[in-house]
């Protein structure tokens, strides 16, 4: 495959955004023949791109930095067939002072609104923080009172169990006393039967 020779830069009216146009400008007949093989096409495109800027290759990644990028950006924004005025040099339009004053005034309004928004957010966060602190303190007080109430209930339960045990010990002679009462009642009934 023949190495393409150096070609002149494309004319101003030509569509420079197309890789095919760059390939044809840099490779001519070699680019047309290179369409059949992908490697040949890549080599032709790379050589055409090297004429238009810097090509860097890192593995499978290829980077392209165009020469005279500012002129190319202006050309891409202009309608086709027209060339921007003063394409040879930098043509920056004059800045309207009224527009700058409007921008400054709007920036001041935005800054004031942002300050007010931040103040409102700060006040809201303070209110939420105070509410959160109040909720946490209420929860803490509730947990402490619940712990105290549970402790008192446990103590009362132990006291009740102790009293029940004392009552049980005190009631141990009752069955024997009830048996004696039943015996005495039976004896009285027999005596009554004899007296009749």
Of the pLDDT bands very low, low, confident and very high (cuts 50, 70, 90), residue 134 is very high
Q: What pLDDT sits at residue 34?
A: 43
Mean pLDDT in residue range 3-24 = 44
The two structure tokens encoding residue 85: 């005025």
Which residues touch 87 (CB under 8 Å, ≥6 apart)? 12, 71, 74, 75
Task: Quote the CA–CA distance of 122 and 40 in Å, as a whole number.
Answer: 65
Distance, first Cα to last Cα, the chain: 152
Residue 115 has pLDDT above 60, yes or no: yes
Q: Is the pLDDT of residue 194 over 80?
A: yes
Contact 91, 73 (CB under 8 A): no
Q: State percent of the chain over pLDDT 90.
A: 36
Tokens representing 56 are 């860097």
pTM given for the model:
0.35
- Annotate the chain with DSSP letters as a single string: -PPPPP-PPPPTTS-TT-HHHHHHHHHTHHHHHHTTSHHHHHHHHHHHHHHHEEEEEETTEEEEEESSHHHHHHHHHSPTT---TTTTS--PPPPPHHHHHHHHHHHHHHHHHHHHHHHHHHHHHHHHHHHHHHHHHHHHHHHHHHHHHHHHHHHHHHHHHHHHHHHHHHTTTHHHHHHHHHHHHHHHHHHHHHH-
- Whether residue 165 has pLDDT greater than 70: yes
Q: Is 48 exposed, middle or buried (0-12, 13-18, 19+ CB in 10 A)?
A: buried
- Residue 64 is predicted with a pLDDT of 77
């Amino acid at each position: 495959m023949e190495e393409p020779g150096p070609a002149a830069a494309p004319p101003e009216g030509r569509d420079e955004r197309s890789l095919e146009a760059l390939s044809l400008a840099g490779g001519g007949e070699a680019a047309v023949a290179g369409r059949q093989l992908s490697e040949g096409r890549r080599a032709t495109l790379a050589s055409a791109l090297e004429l238009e800027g810097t090509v860097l290759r890192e593995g499978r990644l290829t980077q392209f930095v165009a020469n005279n990028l500012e002129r190319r950006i202006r050309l891409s924004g202009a309608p086709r067939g027209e060339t921007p005025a003063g394409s040879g040099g930098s043509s920056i339009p004059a800045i309207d002072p009224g527009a700058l004053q409007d921008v400054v005034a709007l920036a001041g309004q935005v800054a004031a609104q942002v300050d007010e928004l931040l103040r409102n957010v700060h006040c809201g966060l303070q209110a939420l923080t105070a509410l959160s602190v109040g909720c946490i303190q209420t929860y803490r007080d509730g947990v402490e009172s619940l712990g105290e109430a549970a402790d008192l209930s446990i103590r009362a339960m132990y006291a009740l169990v102790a009293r029940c045990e004392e009552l049980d010990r005190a009631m141990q002679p009752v069955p024997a006393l009830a048996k004696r009462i039943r015996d005495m009642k039976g004896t009285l009934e027999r005596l009554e039967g004899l007296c009749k």
